[in-house]
Every structure is written in C-alpha cells, then in structure tokens.
Amino acid sequence: MFKKIFEYAGPHKKGIYTATAVMLLSVLMGVLPFVLAYQIIAPLVMSDPIGTAYVTTRLAGILVCLVLQAILNGWGLDISHRAAYNTLLRLRVALQKRFETLPLGVVQDKGTGTVKKLFVDDVDSLELLMAHSLPEGIANLMVPIAVYVAMFCVDWKLALMSLASVPLSLVAMMLMYSVGMKQMGPYYMAGQKMNNTIIEYFNGMEVVKVFNKDADSFERFRSDVTSYRDNTLAWYKAAWPWMAIYSCLLPCTIILTLPLGGWFTYIGLSSLPDLILVLCLSLSIGLPLLKAMGFLPTMPQLNYKITALEQMLDAAPLQQTEDSFRGKDYTITYNDVTFGYQTSQPGPDGQPIVSVNNVITNVSFTARAGQKTALVGESGSGKSTLAKLLIHYYDPQQGSISIGGQKLRDMSLTALNNQISYVAQDQYLFNTSLLENIRVGRLNATDDEVIEAARKAQCMEFLEKLPQGIHSMAGDAGKMLSGGQRQRIALARAILKDAPIVVLDEATAYADPENEEKMEAAIAELVKGKTLIVIAHKLPAIMNADQICVMAHGSLVATGTHDKLLESCEEYKKLWKAAQDSAEWKVHTAKEGK
C-alpha cells in the first residue's frame, strides 16, 4: 500500500521512519502512566504498606510521562511534516515531468479543473497519509499490540477478555473498507466533474449572460454540485454505519474484563492485582486504538488517489526522438492519416471508460514546399485537427506525417517547432508586456526587431494607443486585448520567428474588413517563399492557393485548384456558393444600413 508513496519519497523515507519511531515513544509515554497508576492502586487495594516517597515518585513519573508524550508528539509531527511536504514537492515535479512527455493536445484536453485537482488537491491530500496516517496510525496500532502481548504474559484469560472487542470491530472495519472502496470511484469522478464544471461556469459566464443561458448553465452547475453531494453522502452512508459500530466497539476494551474478570477473581481463577493491572492496561490502549482507527480509514482513499493520479498520466507519451530536423525540403506529406480524440466517461464502477472516435480518416495529401495549400470544409470536418497533427499536438493512431521525407515522430518536438510558425484562432498571451509576448516568437530578437514585427503585423495602431505602448502588460491571459488584436500579436510572433513553414488556422477570423486587408498584406509578406498551410472559412481569401484540399466528415474528398474544384467537386461548389451568399448578404445589409 505504501510502496508507491515511498518511491516518490526517495531520501525523505527516512524522515517517515524517524517520525514513526518518535511517535511510538510518544504513545508509549501515554501508556506508562497507567502502569504507574497500577503500582499505586494495587498495593492500596491489597493493603500493602507503601510510603509517601513511593507514591510521590510515581506521581512525578506520571507527570514526566505526560509532558514527554506531548513533546515527542510535537517533534514527531514536525519530522513527519517535513518529510511529507518534501515528498509532495518531489511528486509534483515527477508529475510535471510525466506531463511534459505527453502530447500537448492530451494535456489541454484534460481541462484546467482536472489538472488543478491533480496537482493541487490530490497531491495535497497525500499529506494526510504521510504526515499523520503513516506515523501516527502505525504508532497508535503498534503500542496496543505490544500492550496486549504484555497482558497475555500477566493473565491470558483476562487478556482474552480485553481482546473481545477487537474481532467484532475488525469485521465492521473490513465491511467499512469494502463498501467504501466501491463508492470511492463514483465519488472521485463526481468531484472531478464538479471541478471542471465550476471552472467552465465562471469562464463561460459572459457567453451565458449574452445568450440568456443562465438557467441552462446554472442547471448544469447545480446538477454537478448536487451529484458530488450525493456521491459523497452515498459514500458516507455506505461506510458510516460500519464506522460507527467499529468506533464504539474498539475502544471498549474493558467491556468483558470488568464484569467477567471480576467474577474470575471472585472464584479464584485470576488474582486481584492481575485484574487491576489488566484493567489499567486495557484503559491505556483505548485512546491509541481510537486514534489508529481515525487514520486507518483514510488509507484506502489515499491509495485510490495515488492510483488515480498515475492513471491520469497513463496516456501514451508523444512519439519523438532526440534527432534534429534532416528533411530534404519543406514539403509536407500526410500519409494515410487516421486520428481520433480520446474521450473518457465515468463507467458504472467509477473507473473511466476511454473511447476514441475517429475525426480524421485515411487522409493523404502533399503540401509542396514554397506553395500555398488551403484546407477548406464545413465546420467540424477536421481542418484544425489536421493542423494540430502537423504541429504534433497529438500522434495519429494510424499513418504518418513527414516534412521533407522525415517523419514527425523521427525528430524532436523542438526540432519540429523550429520549422513551423502556427497561428491559431485563439492565442494565449502571457501576463507580461506585449513586447515580451511578441518576443516569444524568437527569444534572442532585439527590441527593434520585435517592434518591426509588430509594425508588419499591423499591431502599432492599437499598441500606440495603450498608455505604455508596446511595454503595456497583456493582462491576465491577454484579456485586455480584443480577439483581433490578439491575433495580430500572434501574427507578429510568427513574423519574428520567420520559420520556413507557416500554418494559419483562421488567422484573420476576428479582423474587421479594414484590418483584414492590412493583415492579408502582412501575411503575404510573412509567407513569401514559405510552405503555407492555411485554413479559412472565407473562401475568396484562398481561391489563389496552389492547392485546395476539401475536407468533409474527416475525409479528404478532393484536391485541386479553385477552378478545377469548381468544375468537379460538389462539396466545394456547395462551400463556394455558401461563401458567395454570405458575401451578398453582407453587401445587402450594408446597403440597407445606409
């Protein structure tokens, strides 16, 4: 049960051992006063002569034991917490290392709620196991065991009576564990779902308000929060009756010893001093047993969490090598690529059921070096997915993508990144200055180069209006800028990076007509002589492409030039007509507006 956590603890394992030893001494100090009390009570009951010095030394002993118990307890906890928090640090670093090997897309798909729960809550909850359950739980269990052995040496019959409560409470404990474990899966999944929903609820609040979807959105929020409550209560409901029986029975160590032991002494089967000693010892272990019981139920929960934590990171790592880019040119080839996103749903037993639905099926095409290749198709046809496969956010389930003859999986991600500039529809901006945000494109660029790139990407007109110009902070994740402005920052990054392959996924989607023209000019400058893959809903923008690939439902239905496709491809004709209609509609509305 502790193998995994000890693996992560590494050198701090020693701390846990030391803390357990110190705690053991502390619990022992709690038992000794009962022995000393026996030494006073027994002679008094037997009318044996004892002096004041005899009594005072024992009373002083009791006091010293109690003080030592408190000091040792504090010291033990101090050592155990140090070891625990150092282990959590190592665990978080180990998790981050595992995360780094995963495909970026897989990490993003997990959702911030899940990642936060994994890195913060789940890891923190292990503190309970390491700092308390382990040292305190073990110490509070070991001392009673030793005391029982001592009682057996004194009088086995009386010791057996003191043990009577244990087997019954053990049965209750086992039942509590088995029902608790069954409920743990759904409880854990419900917690994860609630986390994601709460984050999504607050992130999406703006959209929710605009579309008057408060009721729907709140309903989802409420249902997930309620489901978490229900699952938690179901877990408690299943486990608590057994826990209550267990916690009442276990500390009742004198339940038989007092009446039956008294009778045994009366009929001469046991001696009175032995009965007093066994009664004192039984009373001394009530509290430690209760404490041990308090920590033991947390153990299966934590064991489950470590397993769940590892399962979360069980996805196949990104296929890559250490190799640099050795492609003979920048021709991109998709060779029979099939891909589906992995989605997981909680199964009936709470374990996630992972399923894969193909969104790209047997796609093969070549985007020639130095040419413009456009991907078109209805929404959801798989265009962005094809782009994400090229920047190696995911590995395809089948087939391969290569650049200049070298497969993506045969080079390092860094080597690939150096060859590609990717401008997505939504760009993440760091909360540093806009200058630094653009410099992400090429970290060794000078300020002048960054400003030049910003000028080319048409950023200057809005940058100049900001109080500190290009030195203004981007705000939390770029929230201070509009969608179109963020896209232009992303374009400036790409211009600065000046990579030989450029992938533009709806790069001008947010631009207004005036800016769009300027951005198109900037893009034309950026992509000169480069291999360009462009995704655009606005078909007129791509009609001059050297090659247009038409996607429908994840399959490539045709490739060719605009003129050729207009003649031969029904799907393209449909898209072109839709684009024309929307252009006409715009003209009409513009006229009506006048």
Ligand X SMILES: Nc1ncnc2c1ncn2[C@@H]1O[C@H](COP(=O)(O)OP(=O)(O)OP(=O)(O)O)[C@@H](O)[C@H]1O
**Chain residues that interact with Mg ion, rule: CB under 5 A:** 384
Sheet with 501-505, strands from edge to edge, namely: 420-423, 501-505, 531-535, 372-377, 547-552, 555-560
- Amino acid identity for residue 215 in this structure: A
Q: What share of the chain is helix, strand, coil (3-state, %, to 5)?
A: 65, 10, 20
Choose the contact partner of 221 out of Mg ion, ligand X, none; CB within 5 to 8 A by kind.
Answer: none
- Using CB under 6 A, which residues numbered 314 to 353 contact ligand X? 341, 343
Q: Report d(CA 318, CA 296) in Å as an integer.
A: 39
Under rule CB under 6 A, residue 377 binds ligand X = yes
- For residue 540 the two structure tokens come to 């007129």
Question: Which H or E run includes 197?
Answer: helix 165-203
Torsions phi, psi of 532, nearest 5? -120, 130
Choose the contact partner of 230 out of ligand X, Mg ion, none; CB within 5 to 8 A by kind.
Answer: none
Give one DSSP letter per residue of 509-520, joined into a string: TT--HHHHHHHH
Identify which of 147, 133, 165, 15 has the alpha carbon closest to the alpha carbon of residue 79: 15
Helix (H, G, I), strand (E, B) or coil at 380: coil
The only residue of 204, 380, 405, 475 in contact with ligand X, by rule CB under 6 A:
380
Window of 30-38, 181-189, 374-382, 432-440 that interacts with ligand X by CB under 6 A: 374-382
Decide whether 39 or 427 has the Cβ nearer to ligand X.
427
Choose the contact partner of 341 out of Mg ion, ligand X, none; CB within 5 to 8 A by kind.
Answer: ligand X
Window of 57-65, 226-234, 375-383, 462-470 that interacts with ligand X by CB under 6 A: 375-383
| Distance in Å, CB of 390 to ligand X, minimum | 12
| Distance in Å, CB of 335 to Mg ion, minimum | 22
The angle that helices 447-456 and 483-497 make with each other, rounded to 10 degrees, is 120
Window of 9-17, 159-167, 376-384, 489-497 that interacts with ligand X by CB under 6 A: 376-384
- Amino acid identity for residue 118 in this structure: L
Under rule CB under 6 A, residue 381 binds ligand X = yes
Q: Report d(CA 57, CA 78) in Å as an integer.
A: 31
Choose the contact partner of 12 out of ligand X, Mg ion, none; CB within 5 to 8 A by kind.
Answer: none
| Distance in Å, CB of 193 to ligand X, minimum | 16
Choose the contact partner of 193 out of Mg ion, ligand X, none; CB within 5 to 8 A by kind.
Answer: none
Decide whether 309 or 536 has the Cβ nearer to ligand X.
536
Q: Report d(CA 485, CA 464) in Å as an integer.
A: 13
Choose the contact partner of 381 out of ligand X, Mg ion, none; CB within 5 to 8 A by kind.
Answer: ligand X
| Distance in Å, CB of 363 to ligand X, minimum | 11
Binding letters toward ligand X, positions 79-118, x by CB under 6 A? ------------------------------x---------
Pairing of strands 398-403, 531-535: unpaired
Check if the beta carbon of residue 382 is closer than 8 Å to that of residue 464.
Answer: no
Check if the beta carbon of residue 421 is closer than 8 Å to that of residue 360.
Answer: no
| Distance in Å, CB of 206 to Mg ion, minimum | 21
- For residue 187 the two structure tokens come to 């409880």
Pairing of strands 332-346, 352-367: antiparallel
| Distance in Å, CB of 405 to ligand X, minimum | 26
Check if the beta carbon of residue 358 is closer than 8 Å to that of residue 554.
Answer: yes
Under rule CB under 6 A, residue 359 binds ligand X = yes
The only residue of 162, 169, 385, 487 in contact with ligand X, by rule CB under 6 A:
385
Decide whether 156 or 428 has the Cβ nearer to ligand X.
428
The only residue of 12, 58, 383, 562 in contact with ligand X, by rule CB under 6 A:
383
| Distance in Å, CB of 361 to Mg ion, minimum | 17
Choose the contact partner of 382 out of ligand X, Mg ion, none; CB within 5 to 8 A by kind.
Answer: ligand X
- Residues lying near ligand X in the complex (CB under 6 A) are found at 109, 341, 343, 359, 377, 379-385
